[in-house]
């Protein structure tokens, strides 16, 4: 399929949208994909649309795991996606929390931590995407609020068919219908 005439982006929350949220997911060997998640990312790629992740990772700030642990988890996600012919163009994360164990992460209202829009705004700026040409798919009210504050369409994911939801959003973003 050809790329849209302008840069378009799908921003995925991570835990609960792409991977099953068992609470503070960070062990690569425990990565469990939400059904249809890998196919959904591949559909985004095939449409010529950017696929990014914006994820709060307060477990780092709370001292439950390290940035290196999270990076290993992300590396396994990317490895599995690549094996299936899919990719993520960028991953943004916010390890901050008001009760963080480490001073460097102890921030009560960090601009990147959802519901604040910092990660989304940075993704849009770095890839040159207008807010109206992006959608955020998340499973929490904080995802929807971050999208609203960034001027991005927020789509609440409640466990339905993720691939079908992505296809509908791609059609709305690009004006192209995609076969199911």
pLDDT digits (tens, 9 = 90+) for 135-169: 999 999 999 999 999 999 999 999 999 999 999 99
Pairing of strands 90-94, 134-138: unpaired
Average pLDDT over residues 116-134: 98
pLDDT of res. 105? 93
pLDDT of res. 33? 98
Using DSSP's 3-state secondary structure scheme, residue 122 falls into helix
pLDDT of res. 88? 98
CATH topology for 11-123+139-174? Answer: Rossmann fold (3.40.50)
pLDDT range class, residue 79, cuts 50, 70, 90: very high
pLDDT range class, residue 179, cuts 50, 70, 90: confident
User: In the predicted model, what is the mean pLDDT of the chain?
Assistant: 94
Which pLDDT tens digit goes with each residue over 3-21? 546 899 999 999 999 999 9
Residue spans of the domains in the chain: they are 11-123+139-174
Scanning the structure block, which residue is given the tokens 């691939």? 163
Would residue 16 be called left, alpha or beta, if left means φ above 0 and alpha means ψ between -120 and 50 degrees?
A: left
Q: Which of 11-20, 49-58, 94-103, 155-164 has the lowest mean pLDDT?
A: 94-103
pLDDT range class, residue 180, cuts 50, 70, 90: confident
Is residue 154 within a helix (H) or strand (E), and if so which, with residue range? strand 153-156
Residues forming a β-bridge with 156: 138
- Is 112 a known active-site residue? no
Is-contact 170 47, C-beta < 8 A? yes
Is-contact 117 78, C-beta < 8 A? no
- Is 143 a known active-site residue? no
What is the pTM for the complete model shown?
0.94
């Amino acid at each position: 399929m050809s790329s849209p005439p302008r840069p378009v982006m799908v921003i995925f929350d991570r835990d609960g949208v792409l991977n099953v949220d068992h609470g503070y997911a960070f062990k690569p060997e425990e990565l469990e994909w939400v059904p249809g998640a890998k196919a959904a990312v591949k559909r985004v790629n095939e449409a010529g649309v950017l696929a990014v992740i914006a994820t709060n990772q307060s477990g780092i700030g709370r001292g439950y795991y390290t940035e290196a642990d999270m990076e290993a988890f992300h590396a396994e996600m990317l490895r599995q996606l690549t094996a299936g012919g899919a990719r993520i163009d960028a991953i943004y994360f916010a390890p901050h929390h008001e009760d963080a164990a480490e001073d460097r992460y102890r921030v009560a209202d960090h601009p990147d931590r959802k519901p604040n829009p910092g990660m989304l705004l940075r993704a849009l700026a770095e890839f040159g995407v207008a807010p109206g040409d992006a959608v955020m798919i998340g499973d929490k009210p904080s995802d929807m609020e971050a999208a609203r504050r960034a001027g991005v369409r927020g789509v609440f994911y409640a466990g339905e068919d993720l691939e079908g939801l992505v296809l509908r959003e791609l059609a709305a973003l690009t004006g192209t219908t995609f076969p199911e």
